[in-house]
Amino acid sequence: MLWRALRRDGDHQHARAFLTHAHGLQLCVIQRPHRPGEFLVGTVLPAGVYEYDTAPRPQAVSVPGDPARAAAAVRRRLLPYYRLASMRVASSTRFRQAQRVTIGRSTDGRPIADVLMPRAVRALLHEDGRWHLDPGTGLCVPAAHSACAPEVLVQDAADRLGGLGFEVIRSDQHPLELYFRSQHPAIPAPVAGLPSTRPGSPSRSRNR
In this prediction the pTM is 0.42
Range of the domain at 173: 99-183
Q: How many CB atoms lie within 10 A of CB 79?
A: 16
Residue 184 confidence class, pLDDT cut points 50, 70, 90: very low
The reply to whether 81 falls in a domain is: yes
The reply to whether 190 falls in a domain is: no
Query: How far is 62 from 6, CA to CA, in rounded Å?
Result: 14
Task: Determine the residue type at 28.
Answer: C
The reply to whether 33 falls in a domain is: yes
Using one digit for the tens of pLDDT, what is the confidence trace for 30-50?
Answer: 888 888 889 999 887 654 455
